[in-house]
């Protein structure tokens, strides 16, 4: 995924300026993160594909021991600068985390850049890194006016920067099955329509999953 890393390095400052405060206009996202914070209280949580760290910072503000991981080193630099939290540049398909080390994983709109094989590898890593009973909250786009579920959009220009990014619109049923094969059982699913005033006008899905306490 070198093209994904390079593309986000290019747009990191623009992304932080445009997206870094988005939770202020997303009450449902905040409510889900509040629930996640309650479920993972007192345990270490890793925000995967964290971008500038706004989700990790929100969780930290609710008492969670949060850290961020992103494929883009530039995003990690911004995250550390803007939040003061620990960040690491790494690939979510090969997490630099020991087995069962995490109480929770949050991953908002990052698995959309992975193909089916890569998502399966990432989900196996989620399950490996989570302690028994640990939760993961995964969010992704499912479609918009131009792209149906199961299709992909390739972006070549973003904020006047040349990029090479693929955005996949995922099927929640398919992802629930893939997460289950990795050892993560579904706790809750929420689908919602967009608010065009605050975000890209795409439909979204949120999956809360858990590693079995018996694993």
4-23: per-residue pLDDT in tens? 999 999 999 999 999 899 99
Confidence of residue 215 (pLDDT cuts 50, 70, 90): low
- Please give the pLDDT value at position 78: 97
Cα angle at 92 between 86 and 96, to 5 degrees? 55
Mean of the per-residue pLDDT values for the chain?
95
| Structural domains counted in the chain | 1
Q: Which residues pair with 130 in a beta bridge?
A: 102
pLDDT single digits (tens) 147-196 = 999 999 999 999 999 999 999 999 999 999 999 999 999 999 999 999 88
* Cα 103 to Cα 195: distance, rounded to the nearest angstrom: 31
Residue pLDDT, tens place only, 67-124: 999 999 999 999 999 999 999 999 999 999 999 999 999 999 999 999 999 999 999 9
CATH no. for residue 87?
3.40.50.150
| 8 Å CB contact between 120 and 181 | yes
Sheet holding 102-108, edge to edge: 87-89, 65-70, 44-48, 102-108, 130-144, 202-211, 184-192
pTM (predicted TM-score): 0.96
Residue range of the domain that includes 148: 2-211
pLDDT of residue 12: 96
């Amino acid at each position: 995924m070198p093209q994904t890393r390079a593309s986000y390095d290019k747009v990191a400052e623009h992304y932080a300026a445009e997206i870094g405060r988005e939770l202020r206009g997303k009450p449902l996202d905040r409510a889900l993160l509040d629930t996640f914070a309650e479920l993972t209280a007192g345990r270490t949580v890793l925000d995967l594909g964290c971008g500038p760290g706004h989700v990790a910072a929100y969780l930290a503000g609710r008492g969670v021991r949060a850290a961020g991981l992103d494929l883009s080193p530039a995003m990690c630099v911004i995250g550390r600068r803007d939040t003061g939290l620990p960040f690491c540049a790494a690939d979510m398909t090969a997490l630099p985390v020991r087995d069962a080390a995490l109480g929770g994983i949050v991953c908002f709109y990052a698995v959309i850049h992975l193909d089916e094989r890569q998502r399966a590898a990432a989900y196996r890593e989620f399950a490996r890194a989570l302690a028994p009973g640990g939760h993961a909250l995964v969010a992704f786009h499912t479609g918009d006016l131009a792209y149906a579920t199961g299709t992909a959009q390739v972006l070549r220009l973003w904020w006047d920067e040349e990029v090479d990014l693929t955005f996949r619109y995922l099927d929640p049923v398919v992802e629930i099955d893939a997460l289950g094969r990795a050892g993560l059982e579904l706790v809750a699913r929420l689908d919602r329509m967009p608010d065009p005033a605050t975000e890209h006008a795409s439909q979204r899905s949120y999956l809360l999953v858990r590693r079995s306490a018996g694993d």
